[in-house]
Amino acid sequence: MEAIFQLLFSELELSTNASERNCRDVAERLAKEVSRICFESKRIQASGEVESWSIALARHRLKQCLHYYELGSRRGRIELHSTLSAVIYRYISPAQVQSSYQARLTLIEDFLQGFYMEALNAFRREAQLPPTYRPKTLLELSEYMAFTERYGKRRIPLPGHRSQQLIILRAQTFSQQQPLETLVDIERAAEGTTQESDHAWGAASMQQVREQMVAQEPEPAEDTLRSKVIAELIAYLEERKQNDCADYFTLRLQDLPASEIESILGLTPRQRDYLQQRFKYHLIRFALSHRWELVHQWLEADLERNLGLTPHQWETFQAQIEPQQVKLLELKQKRLSDSAIAQSLGCSVTQVQKQWFKLLEQAWSIRNCVVSGASRSGDE
Separation CA 146–CA 152 (nearest Å): 10
Are 21 and 121 members of one domain?
yes
Q: Is residue 319 assigned to a domain?
A: yes
Whether the predicted model's global pTM rises above the 0.85 cut: no
Are 231 and 95 members of one domain?
no
Q: Is residue 82 assigned to a domain?
A: yes
Of 242, 273, 296, which residue sits at a domain end?
296
Please report, in tens digits, the pLDDT of each residue of the chain (380 residues total).
788 999 999 999 999 999 999 999 999 999 999 998 888 888 888 878 888 888 989 999 999 999 999 988 888 888 898 889 888 887 886 544 455 566 777 788 888 988 998 999 999 999 999 988 989 899 999 999 999 999 999 888 887 778 888 999 898 888 877 655 444 444 444 444 444 433 433 444 444 444 443 444 444 455 566 777 787 888 888 888 888 888 888 777 766 778 878 877 778 888 888 888 888 888 888 877 777 777 776 666 667 677 777 777 777 778 887 888 788 888 877 777 878 888 887 888 888 778 888 888 777 777 665 433 433 334 43
Separation CA 352–CA 325 (nearest Å): 9
Of 153, 182, 215, which residue sits at a domain end?
215
Are 314 and 367 members of one domain?
yes
Are 234 and 344 members of one domain?
no
What pLDDT sits at residue 224? 63
Are 274 and 351 members of one domain?
no
User: Which runs of consecutive H residues, i.e. helices, occur in the chain?
Assistant: 2-15, 20-40, 42-47, 50-88, 101-126, 138-152, 166-176, 180-191, 203-215, 221-239, 243-252, 258-265, 269-285, 292-298, 311-320, 323-333, 338-345, 349-367, 373-379
Separation CA 108–CA 105 (nearest Å): 5
Separation CA 171–CA 84 (nearest Å): 11
Q: Is residue 123 assigned to a domain?
A: yes
Contact 149, 84 (CB under 8 A): yes
Are 57 and 77 members of one domain?
yes
Q: Is residue 302 assigned to a domain?
A: no
Range(s) of the domain holding residue 319: 309-372
Number of domains the chain is built from: 3
- Which helix H or strand E contains 173, and what residues bound it? helix 166-176
Q: In a 3-state reduction of DSSP, which class is residue 156?
A: strand
Are 211 and 229 members of one domain?
no
Are 313 and 211 members of one domain?
no
Are 42 and 131 members of one domain?
yes
Q: Is residue 377 assigned to a domain?
A: no
Are 314 and 353 members of one domain?
yes
What pLDDT sits at residue 63? 93
Are 326 and 270 members of one domain?
no
Q: Is residue 125 assigned to a domain?
A: yes
Contact 209, 67 (CB under 8 A): no
What pLDDT sits at residue 368? 66
Contact 138, 72 (CB under 8 A): yes
Q: Is residue 198 assigned to a domain?
A: no
Q: Of 86, 212, 231, which is closest to residue 152 (Cα–Cα)? A: 86
Are 71 and 16 members of one domain?
yes
Contact 235, 241 (CB under 8 A): no
Of 233, 265, 296, which residue sits at a domain end?
296
Q: Is residue 301 assigned to a domain?
A: no
